Amino acid sequence: MIGIVPCSVCTLDVEGEFNDDPTEGKLYADPTDKRLYYCSRSLTRSCPQTGFFPVWDGHVKYVTRYSNCKYLPDDVILVGLADISSKLTEEVASSIRYRHRKAIANDEILEPMIRENDNMFTQVVKGTITVKKLTIVDLVDMSALPESTVHSYYSALIRIAFMRIDRWLSWVDQILRIRYVITVYRGKRRVMSYDYPSDTYEPTITQTELLSEPDQMKRLVKLIMQLESISKTDLCSDEVDDYTVNNMITTLGTNKPLSAQLFSRFTRMAGLTYTVEVRDDGKLLFTYRE
């Protein structure tokens, strides 16, 4: 192969000039005028399969008025080593590697289905992948993790409804690299917003003892309870048993991470709602509402 010619439906290899042992499906140049022909022993007219090039069967040329009229070397992207070395940049090389990997992987756009029992973390990750129209190769290229880890994470994503916060942060920080804002409401009134990864709050929080809590979901619950003066008694109702409330309060006081399910349950018990807005380069990608 000495070059390639991109067509609307395919990219064809240029093997050189007419010879005695041509390869089916390749382009060859007539040595007399350098016009390019598609080698085929079964086709006799230009069509999408030939890239609309005229056909040459090794002996006879078949040309119609609809045939492409392209020539070597003017219409060919030469791929000899000398040409590649003079034109190749790291950006071009990365693009070539990316397209090659997508081709051999038969990579398809991922469409993870959001299920009713998926927790907030799972739904936000699935929604972001779907909106951005990502493939597995995209996830691997975006990621700071090994390829096998990304495959494992995606496999778990489509099988397991309840994503843990450590896996959530891996998706956010190391794979998708997104910003999100959690906003909590009481009716139409905004109670609080939390912006990640800037780790900032609106309104501004000054209680350093609460801000020292490493678990962001626990921190949010504790801050909301303080801002709204919510007590354990306030969380109890005819619909919520004491065990559920005690489990919530106990978790807040231990090293056990607060799950997305418990955070959602807390907002419902407290009569609150919340949204999670995912942003990328300043654009709103996906919104989750509880």
Look at residue 95 and tell me if it is in a domain.
Answer: no
* Residue 224 sits in the same domain as residue 248: yes
Look at residue 155 and tell me if it is in a domain.
Answer: yes
* Residue 230 sits in the same domain as residue 284: yes
- What confidence tier does 148 reach under pLDDT thresholds 50, 70, 90? confident
Using CA atoms in the order 113, 115, 119, 122, what is the torsion angle rounded to 10 degrees?
-10
* Residue 283 sits in the same domain as residue 187: yes
Residue 103 in this model has a pLDDT that exceeds 70: no
Question: In the listed set 150, 177, 204, which residue is the last one of a domain according to the structure?
Answer: 177
Q: Nearest-CA neighbor of 168 among 126, 110, 224? A: 126
* Residue 109 sits in the same domain as residue 34: no
Range of the domain at 19: 3-88
pLDDT of amino acid 195: 94
Start-to-end Cα distance in the chain: 58
pLDDT > 70 in the chain, percent: 88
* Residue 191 sits in the same domain as residue 290: yes
**What's 145's DSSP letter?**
S
Question: In the listed set 152, 177, 202, which residue is the last one of a domain according to the structure?
Answer: 177
Residue 96 in this model has a pLDDT that exceeds 70: no
Q: Nearest-CA neighbor of 207 among 196, 185, 192, 187? A: 192
* Residue 83 sits in the same domain as residue 140: no
What is the C-alpha separation between 80 and 22, in angstroms, rounded?
Answer: 19
| Mean local confidence (pLDDT), 124-145 | 89
Stronger pLDDT, 95 or 200, i.e. the higher one: 200
Residue 165 parent element (H or E) = helix 165-170
Residue 237 in this model has a pLDDT that exceeds 60: yes
* Residue 142 sits in the same domain as residue 222: no
Asked if 39 and 28 touch (Cβ cutoff 8 Å), the reply is yes
Question: In the listed set 88, 121, 145, which residue is the last one of a domain according to the structure?
Answer: 88
Extract long-range pairs of 171-177: CB within 8 Å, 24+ residues apart. 171/121, 171/125, 172/196, 172/197, 173/197, 174/143, 174/144, 174/145, 175/139, 175/142, 175/143, 175/144, 175/145, 175/150, 176/125, 176/128, 176/129, 176/132, 176/142, 177/142, 177/280
